[in-house]
Structure 1
Amino acid sequence: MIKSLYIKDFALIDELDVQFEKGLNIMTGQTGAGKSIIIGALNMILGERADTEVIRQGAQKAIAEATIFVGKNEYLFELLEENAVEVSKELILRREIRQTGSRAFINDTPVNISVLKEVGDQLVDLHGQHDHQLLLKEENHQDVIDQFDLVQPVMKAYRTEYQKMSELQKELRDLKRRERDLSEKMELYQFQVKELEAAELDAHEEDELESEMNLLDNAEDLDQKAAAISEIGNGEDVSLIELLNTIKMHLEDMARIEPEFQTYLEEVTTARISIQEAVQFAERYRDGIEFNPKRLETLRQRQSELNRLQKKYQRDIPELIQYYNEIKTELNVAENFDLEIERIEKKIADQAEVLKERAVDLHETRVQVGNQLSADIADALKNLGIEHGRFQVRVDWLKGGSGWVEVDGVPVECTSEGCDEVSFFISTNKGESPKPLAKIASGGEISRVMLSLKSILAKEHHLPVMIFDEIDTGISGHISEKVGREMRKLSEYCQIVAITHQPQIASQAHKHYKVEKVEEGERTITKIISLSEEEHIREVAGLMSGEEITDSALSSAKELIERSGMRN
């Protein structure tokens, strides 16, 4: 139940703090007093879209906050844990609207608006005036049936198999598209595979080519320089090695006399060894130098061929190798398309049988729930003054379409929501056969059908709170009393907050609040007042007689209220 509602700087509301009670909480007030503003704030708390225009003039932000006692709700607690929100049996839902954007909190933890809405849906059913129109649209009727607990697991099982079928169908479409695309490219791919196979590509070949060509291209220069080194090191006229040997010999003699020469002796000895090794390497290298113009020309032709392929395909060598592997794989797939398509079509045929079983289960469950709902609403309508009312939920197969599933040899259309079309039919007069709800129901009848539905769903889902925004639209005073009694009876299962203009409904309140618009200084603001028992009687009397409350109206109001208490 909603324990308290706090609103600040929201539209005409300066600051409002109201405590709600168990049972039936009624709000009344003149048109334009601000009742819809309070409903708008509640909507905002429950995650509906909010506009910056709701910020009261001169304020920086609008705030709406509700403290809701939730009791035990395992699904809700799991949802809170998933979003790192402290789990408790009492939740504080808060929404702030600034010019720069909107923020949402649950128990002071920031959350996304989508999370706030999902939590709100578990706590409150807010029935606005536009919900009447939703009931008149046939595409919404299936959603009503699917809210029942009996349908939910069957729907989940169906959706699992439908998803598998959708994936198989997509796989088949993709394979056939690839087949069409490949048939157009087959000749090109075959030519390219042949050309690239003949090229015998190697990812490291270019570097190896460059290295070998560099050696062959500079063979003569390398030979000349290696010969020069050999001549300097071991020449007949002047030998660098012999000179270094002479220097080394003199330094040895001098070091025996003067130890300071020992360091230079070591350095010359090291230098002589290094130079001797360099000279010997140059001599050996000359023996391995290859003078092969023919080999060089072959390498240049190979390099030219690699450059041609890279330019033609706009890819470097590693990318060309990857491309070759890809198109070769495509050609291999193309050769086996028929077998692959046949394999998937067999899986689709098998899956169609499984999907049909789940579709039939879902169809039969909806029929079962629809029959029960038809009977329950017919009973509820009697209590609301439609004595000979008949309500009928029709669940028919959705004919035509993809043909994934056939029922009695007839293809039916399957969607993620099942293979059915659900529609509501009603008859409000004795002897008339039921006709589509949208075509014959008046505004008052729609209100009573909606209240009947809400009553049944509230008991089904154990929602803590239901909010009705003028569900009494289009109904007379006599029927209003029946509607009020039904709402009071429903409040035994959940807390109800309702806005009404009907004294017969207001008289049923366990707690009555009056919304009024007052002027304070230069500003007009909305206030909500919790009425005492005496004020409750006067407000009901005012709804009956208008601004001038007569003794007769007071007496009638008191009698009306006493009748509601006797039925409690």
Structure 2
Amino acid sequence: MLTSLSIKNYALIDQLNVNFNDGFSIITGETGAGKSILLGGLSLILGKRADLSSLKDTSTKCVIEAVFNISNYNLKALFESEDFDYDEQTIIRREILPSGKSRAFVNDSPVNLSSLQLLGERLIDIHSQHQTMALTTDEFQFQVIDALANNEEILQQYTSELKVYKTLKKELKSLLEFQADAIKEHDYNSFLLNELVEANLIDGELEALEEEYESLNNVESIKDKLGEAYQLLTDEQIGAISTLTALKNTLQKLSSYASKYDDLFNRVNSSLIELDDVYREVDELQDSLEADPNRLEVVDAKLRLLHNLMQKHVVETVAELIEIKNQLEEKVSVTENLDETIQNKQKEIEEQAKTLNGIAKTIHDNRSKVIPELKAQLESILVGLGMPNAQFNIEVSLQKEYLANGKDNLSFLFSANKGGNYNELKKAASGGELSRIMLAIKSVLAKYIQLPTIMFDEIDTGVSGEISNKMGDIMLEMSKSMQVFAITHLPQVAAKGHSHFKVYKEDKDEVTHSNLVKLNHDERIVEIAQMLGGVEMSSSAIAHAKELLN
């Protein structure tokens, strides 16, 4: 509940500090006295956008602060989700700076307007002409029915399951789109893959083949060189082996004269042994070397294939070709297995649809059960509000489409006159009738859910004394379970309040100021008498005012 309100430098208000009680509070005042200013200030607390024109004195900031007792509002979860500091005595403050910038605070922690609006919706319900029109929307009508049906928990479950369903549908759509694109590329990818598979790619193969090709392609030249090397090694006159043998023999003779020649002998002897190995290897290479045109053709073909594939795929190594082959295998495999994946996804969607349909059916059944009760209560209340022939025709019917709050199509029709045709509320009810219907609905809702503080802004406009008396009784009854404010011009309603506040204007130093003051019992008598008979109060008006208050 709203326990106090402080307004500084806002519109026509210099400084206002007022405390409120629970129960039913009345706010009265002459037209233009500033009741709309009070509502404007409260709207800022609830997250409405502000501008510099709100400042009374543009050289200093405007500050609006409200204190709420939220101990019975079950708001801890909301405070946690929005990262607010929870306190049963929660303070909301709005500041409008001379620069035009606005700041908002919840328990002295800065918050953004969207979070403040979310909290504000749970604290005060300001009933205005705009909200009366909300009565004609499916969204509001469903909220009323679901409140009576106690559907809150199952609607949360439905919302959660609907989210899963939509995710699955989105995944299926992506799979189908991918499949459509993949089918277009599948044949080409398969062709490329077959080329690479048939190439029998081996990492490092290119270098080995290039070396073998050079050997096979130059076999005659290699033979000539090996023959020349053999001749240089074995020629009796100038051959390296003969010469080195002669050198060894000479050094062997020297080593017999002194040990210092042994090292030279041993080194030459080692060289001769190594040279002898070279000779044998050259001899073996000569014997094994043969022209092999068939093998040369095979190697040449494989090299051309590898080079063509590398050029085609714009790579430089066989290893890169192997990586491309692996990628193509994955693409082709995924494409070929997509049908099974899509079928599995469709089965998931079907199972999720069964779950959703079951929940939606429960929501529908709950709504259907309470509609007769809602219809009876509304019609009964409206009889007392001067609408004896008011009748509702409310039906919910299941449809195929999944909506945000179930699968129901809602028909909420109304007839104000006996024998009249049923029609949509916005077509069948006048503005005054809509206000009375909204009051009836709010009074019914108050029996089933914990409503926030509610402020009725002249909901009784245009109604007769007897009907206004009944409207006052309804608001008074609502105040037994919640805090109710009523801004009114009707004395019959004003007399019902537990507390009475008056908005008034006064001129000081040629400047107009608005203020709000709580009236005591005697002041209430005067205010109600003036509402009955004008400023020139008669004794009968005063007597009538006392009677109403009693």
Same fold at TM > 0.5:
yes
CA contact (8 A) 2:384 2:467 kept: no
Per-residue deviation, residues 40-90 of structure 1 (Å, max 9, x unmatched): 2112212233344323342443222111112234x3123324445443321
CA contact (8 A) 2:452 2:483 kept: yes
- Among 500, 514, 521, the alignment partner of 2:509 is 521
The 5 A counterparts of 1:360-379 are 360-379=361-380
**1:309 to partner: Cα distance:** 5.8
CA contact (8 A) 2:455 2:486 kept: yes
CA distance in 2 between partners of 1:389 and 1:125 (Å) = 26
Name the counterpart of 2:261.
Answer: none
CA distance in 2 between partners of 1:25 and 1:149 (Å) = 30
Distance 1:86 1:171, change over 3 A: closer
CA distance in 1 between partners of 2:406 and 2:462 (Å) = 35
**1:331 to partner: Cα distance:** 1.8
CA contact (8 A) 1:150 1:369 kept: no
Per-residue deviation, residues 300-331 of structure 1 (Å, max 9, x unmatched): 9999879846758xx99999877665543232
Structure 2 residue identity aligned to 1:78: A
- Among 554, 558, 562, the alignment partner of 2:542 is 554
CA distance in 2 between partners of 1:303 and 1:349 (Å) = 50
**1:192 to partner: Cα distance:** 4.3
CA distance in 2 between partners of 1:326 and 1:154 (Å) = 47
The 5 A counterparts of 1:214-225 are none
Per-residue deviation, residues 186-245 of structure 1 (Å, max 9, x unmatched): 23333444566678999x98xx99xx99xx9xxxxxxxxxxxxxxxxxxxxxxxxxxxxx
CA contact (8 A) 1:142 1:423 kept: no
Aligned with 2:446: secondary structure? helix
Distance 1:547 1:164, change over 3 A: same
The 5 A counterparts of 1:312-323 are none
CA distance in 1 between partners of 2:195 and 2:511 (Å) = 86
**1:128 to partner: Cα distance:** 1.9
Name the counterpart of 2:385.
Answer: 384
Distance 1:59 1:38, change over 3 A: farther
**1:4 to partner: Cα distance:** 0.6
Structure 1 residue identity aligned to 2:478: L
**1:451 to partner: Cα distance:** 0.8
Aligned with 1:451: secondary structure? helix
- Among 463, 468, 473, the alignment partner of 2:461 is 473
CA contact (8 A) 2:310 2:321 kept: no
Name the counterpart of 1:87.
Answer: 86
Name the counterpart of 2:436.
Answer: 448
The 5 A counterparts of 1:159-198 are 159-194=159-194
Name the counterpart of 1:123.
Answer: 123
Aligned with 1:462: secondary structure? coil
CA contact (8 A) 1:9 1:63 kept: yes
Structure 2 residue identity aligned to 1:79: L
**1:363 to partner: Cα distance:** 0.8
Q: Aligned-pair RMSD on alpha carbons?
A: 3.7
Structure 1 residue identity aligned to 2:90: L
Aligned with 2:485: secondary structure? strand
Structure 1 residue identity aligned to 2:94: R
CA distance in 2 between partners of 1:135 and 1:33 (Å) = 29
CA contact (8 A) 2:63 2:96 kept: yes
Name the counterpart of 1:222.
Answer: none
Name the counterpart of 2:282.
Answer: none
Name the counterpart of 1:541.
Answer: 529
Distance 1:192 1:144, change over 3 A: farther
Structure 2 residue identity aligned to 1:391: F
- Among 413, 424, 439, the alignment partner of 1:425 is 413
Asked if 1:146 is matched to 2:146, the reply is yes
CA contact (8 A) 1:25 1:510 kept: yes
Asked if 1:46 is matched to 2:52, the reply is no
Name the counterpart of 2:37.
Answer: 37
CA contact (8 A) 2:28 2:502 kept: yes
Distance 1:547 1:319, change over 3 A: farther
Structure 1 residue identity aligned to 2:26: I
Per-residue deviation, residues 80-118 of structure 1 (Å, max 9, x unmatched): 244454433211111223345332222212233333233
Per-residue deviation, residues 442-492 of structure 1 (Å, max 9, x unmatched): 222211111111112223222351111121133222211111121112111
CA distance in 1 between partners of 2:317 and 2:499 (Å) = 81
Name the counterpart of 2:337.
Answer: 336
Aligned with 1:466: secondary structure? strand
TM-score (norm 1): 0.72
Q: Percent identity?
A: 38
CA distance in 2 between partners of 1:317 and 1:355 (Å) = 54
CA distance in 1 between partners of 2:62 and 2:462 (Å) = 34
Structure 1 residue identity aligned to 2:382: L
Structure 2 residue identity aligned to 1:89: E
Structure 2 residue identity aligned to 1:44: L
Structure 2 residue identity aligned to 1:111: V
CA distance in 2 between partners of 1:317 and 1:18 (Å) = 85
CA distance in 1 between partners of 2:31 and 2:322 (Å) = 78
CA contact (8 A) 2:28 2:487 kept: yes
TM-score (norm 2): 0.75
CA contact (8 A) 1:488 1:508 kept: yes
**1:177 to partner: Cα distance:** 1.0
Aligned with 1:515: secondary structure? strand
CA distance in 2 between partners of 1:547 and 1:326 (Å) = 92
**1:6 to partner: Cα distance:** 0.7
Distance 1:91 1:322, change over 3 A: farther
CA distance in 1 between partners of 2:33 and 2:145 (Å) = 37
CA distance in 2 between partners of 1:71 and 1:379 (Å) = 34
CA contact (8 A) 1:141 1:423 kept: no
Name the counterpart of 2:356.
Answer: 355
Gaps of 5+ in 1: 217-282, 288-293, 399-411, 563-568
Aligned with 1:156: secondary structure? helix
CA distance in 2 between partners of 1:83 and 1:37 (Å) = 29
Distance 1:421 1:494, change over 3 A: same
Aligned with 1:336: secondary structure? helix
CA distance in 2 between partners of 1:317 and 1:535 (Å) = 100
CA contact (8 A) 1:103 1:110 kept: yes
- Among 414, 423, 426, the alignment partner of 1:438 is 426
Gaps of 5+ in 2: 215-273, 279-295
Name the counterpart of 1:491.
Answer: 479
Distance 1:464 1:437, change over 3 A: closer
Structure 2 residue identity aligned to 1:493: S
**1:39 to partner: Cα distance:** 1.0
Distance 1:342 1:548, change over 3 A: same
CA distance in 2 between partners of 1:438 and 1:491 (Å) = 28
CA contact (8 A) 2:28 2:494 kept: yes
CA contact (8 A) 1:63 1:95 kept: yes
Rg larger in structure: 2
Per-residue deviation, residues 23-54 of structure 1 (Å, max 9, x unmatched): 21111122222211211211221223334432
Asked if 1:67 is matched to 2:50, the reply is no
CA contact (8 A) 1:18 1:528 kept: yes
